[in-house]
Amino acid sequence: MRTFLSAVALVASVATAHAGPKEDAYQVVEKWGKAFTNGEVDAIVNLYAPDALMIGTLGKAVLTKPEQIRKYFDVALNSDKPRTAILDSSEATVIDDSTVVIVGFDTITGTKDGQQTVGKGRVTFVVAKRGSDWMIVHMHRSPLPAT
Protein backbone atom coordinates (compact mmCIF):
# COMPACT_ATOMS: atom_id res chain seq x y z
CA MET A 1 0.00 0.00 0.00
CA ARG A 2 2.81 2.40 0.87
CA THR A 3 4.42 1.75 -2.53
CA PHE A 4 1.13 2.45 -4.28
CA LEU A 5 0.67 5.78 -2.43
CA SER A 6 4.25 6.76 -3.22
CA ALA A 7 3.65 6.01 -6.90
CA VAL A 8 0.44 8.08 -6.89
CA ALA A 9 2.26 10.98 -5.21
CA LEU A 10 5.08 10.79 -7.77
CA VAL A 11 2.67 10.81 -10.72
CA ALA A 12 0.74 13.73 -9.21
CA SER A 13 3.91 15.77 -8.66
CA VAL A 14 5.12 15.15 -12.22
CA ALA A 15 1.69 16.08 -13.63
CA THR A 16 1.64 19.40 -11.76
CA ALA A 17 5.30 20.17 -12.46
CA HIS A 18 4.60 20.58 -16.19
CA ALA A 19 1.27 22.21 -16.72
CA GLY A 20 1.60 22.80 -20.47
CA PRO A 21 1.96 25.71 -22.89
CA LYS A 22 -1.53 27.14 -22.33
CA GLU A 23 -1.10 27.28 -18.55
CA ASP A 24 2.42 28.72 -18.89
CA ALA A 25 1.14 31.46 -21.21
CA TYR A 26 -1.73 32.31 -18.85
CA GLN A 27 0.81 32.69 -16.01
CA VAL A 28 2.54 35.41 -18.06
CA VAL A 29 -0.77 37.22 -18.63
CA GLU A 30 -1.57 36.92 -14.92
CA LYS A 31 1.83 38.47 -14.07
CA TRP A 32 1.07 41.22 -16.59
CA GLY A 33 -2.22 42.02 -14.82
CA LYS A 34 -0.56 42.09 -11.39
CA ALA A 35 2.28 44.31 -12.61
CA PHE A 36 -0.24 46.67 -14.26
CA THR A 37 -2.36 46.85 -11.11
CA ASN A 38 0.71 47.41 -8.91
CA GLY A 39 2.14 50.06 -11.24
CA GLU A 40 5.38 48.10 -11.69
CA VAL A 41 6.87 49.40 -14.93
CA ASP A 42 10.00 47.21 -14.79
CA ALA A 43 7.99 44.08 -14.01
CA ILE A 44 5.59 44.59 -16.91
CA VAL A 45 8.30 45.56 -19.41
CA ASN A 46 10.37 42.50 -18.46
CA LEU A 47 7.49 40.28 -19.60
CA TYR A 48 7.99 41.45 -23.21
CA ALA A 49 10.51 39.82 -25.56
CA PRO A 50 13.15 42.20 -26.95
CA ASP A 51 11.52 41.97 -30.40
CA ALA A 52 7.93 42.23 -29.16
CA LEU A 53 5.29 44.21 -31.06
CA MET A 54 2.64 46.15 -29.21
CA ILE A 55 -0.29 48.43 -29.91
CA GLY A 56 -1.65 50.07 -26.75
CA THR A 57 -5.27 50.93 -26.10
CA LEU A 58 -5.24 54.25 -27.92
CA GLY A 59 -2.04 53.57 -29.84
CA LYS A 60 -1.50 55.15 -33.22
CA ALA A 61 1.73 53.30 -33.95
CA VAL A 62 3.12 49.81 -33.57
CA LEU A 63 5.71 49.82 -30.80
CA THR A 64 8.69 47.74 -31.94
CA LYS A 65 11.47 48.53 -29.47
CA PRO A 66 11.78 47.81 -25.74
CA GLU A 67 12.35 51.50 -24.99
CA GLN A 68 9.06 52.38 -26.74
CA ILE A 69 7.17 49.80 -24.68
CA ARG A 70 8.85 51.08 -21.49
CA LYS A 71 7.89 54.68 -22.33
CA TYR A 72 4.28 53.62 -22.99
CA PHE A 73 3.96 51.86 -19.63
CA ASP A 74 5.89 54.55 -17.77
CA VAL A 75 3.12 56.96 -18.76
CA ALA A 76 0.23 54.48 -18.50
CA LEU A 77 1.15 53.07 -15.10
CA ASN A 78 2.09 56.36 -13.50
CA SER A 79 -1.15 58.20 -14.23
CA ASP A 80 -4.74 57.81 -13.10
CA LYS A 81 -3.76 55.78 -10.02
CA PRO A 82 -4.93 53.53 -8.55
CA ARG A 83 -5.36 51.30 -11.63
CA THR A 84 -6.39 47.72 -12.19
CA ALA A 85 -6.40 45.34 -15.14
CA ILE A 86 -8.60 42.26 -15.08
CA LEU A 87 -9.00 39.69 -17.85
CA ASP A 88 -12.76 39.10 -17.72
CA SER A 89 -12.97 36.28 -20.24
CA SER A 90 -10.61 34.72 -22.72
CA GLU A 91 -9.85 31.85 -25.06
CA ALA A 92 -6.45 30.41 -25.88
CA THR A 93 -5.09 28.57 -28.88
CA VAL A 94 -1.89 26.59 -28.57
CA ILE A 95 -0.03 27.08 -31.85
CA ASP A 96 2.76 24.72 -30.83
CA ASP A 97 4.70 23.77 -27.68
CA SER A 98 6.26 27.22 -27.55
CA THR A 99 3.55 29.61 -28.85
CA VAL A 100 0.11 30.45 -27.45
CA VAL A 101 -2.42 33.08 -28.56
CA ILE A 102 -4.76 34.42 -25.87
CA VAL A 103 -7.69 36.66 -26.86
CA GLY A 104 -10.39 38.07 -24.69
CA PHE A 105 -12.15 40.93 -23.03
CA ASP A 106 -10.82 42.90 -20.10
CA THR A 107 -11.61 45.74 -17.75
CA ILE A 108 -9.12 48.48 -16.97
CA THR A 109 -9.92 50.87 -14.15
CA GLY A 110 -8.24 54.10 -13.18
CA THR A 111 -8.88 57.23 -11.18
CA LYS A 112 -9.38 60.64 -12.79
CA ASP A 113 -10.16 63.72 -10.69
CA GLY A 114 -10.99 61.48 -7.75
CA GLN A 115 -13.52 59.44 -9.73
CA GLN A 116 -13.07 55.85 -10.84
CA THR A 117 -12.96 55.30 -14.60
CA VAL A 118 -13.78 51.97 -16.22
CA GLY A 119 -12.64 50.95 -19.67
CA LYS A 120 -13.82 47.72 -21.24
CA GLY A 121 -11.60 46.40 -23.98
CA ARG A 122 -10.54 43.66 -26.35
CA VAL A 123 -7.08 42.25 -25.88
CA THR A 124 -4.76 39.84 -27.67
CA PHE A 125 -1.55 38.40 -26.28
CA VAL A 126 0.83 36.16 -28.19
CA VAL A 127 3.08 34.47 -25.66
CA ALA A 128 6.09 32.48 -26.81
CA LYS A 129 8.84 30.53 -25.15
CA ARG A 130 12.20 32.22 -25.56
CA GLY A 131 14.92 30.01 -24.15
CA SER A 132 13.50 28.80 -20.87
CA ASP A 133 11.22 31.83 -20.37
CA TRP A 134 7.71 32.51 -21.62
CA MET A 135 7.46 36.10 -22.91
CA ILE A 136 4.95 38.36 -24.62
CA VAL A 137 5.88 38.71 -28.30
CA HIS A 138 2.75 40.59 -29.32
CA MET A 139 0.06 42.50 -27.44
CA HIS A 140 -2.81 44.58 -28.74
CA ARG A 141 -5.63 46.21 -26.79
CA SER A 142 -8.47 48.29 -28.12
CA PRO A 143 -11.52 49.82 -26.47
CA LEU A 144 -14.73 47.85 -26.64
CA PRO A 145 -17.25 49.72 -28.80
CA ALA A 146 -20.14 51.28 -26.87
CA THR A 147 -22.73 49.43 -28.96
Q: Residue 102: name the closest of 18, 21, 9 by CA.
A: 21
Residue 6 forms part of a structural domain: no
Residue 85: in which H helix or E strand, if any? Answer: strand 84-96
Q: Say how many domains are in the chain.
A: 1
Residue 10 forms part of a structural domain: no
Q: Show pLDDT as tens, one digit a residue, over the chain (147 residues).
A: 444 334 444 444 444 456 899 999 999 999 999 999 999 999 999 999 999 999 999 899 999 999 999 999 999 999 889 999 999 999 999 999 999 999 999 999 999 999 999 999 999 999 999 999 999 999 999 999 987
Residue 4 forms part of a structural domain: no
Backbone dihedral region of 102: left (phi > 0), alpha (psi from -120 to 50 degrees) or beta? beta
Report the CATH number at residue 58.
3.10.450.50
Residue 132 structural domain:
20-143
Residue 5 forms part of a structural domain: no
Residue 77 forms part of a structural domain: yes
Residue 104 forms part of a structural domain: yes
Residue 41 forms part of a structural domain: yes
Residue 15 forms part of a structural domain: no
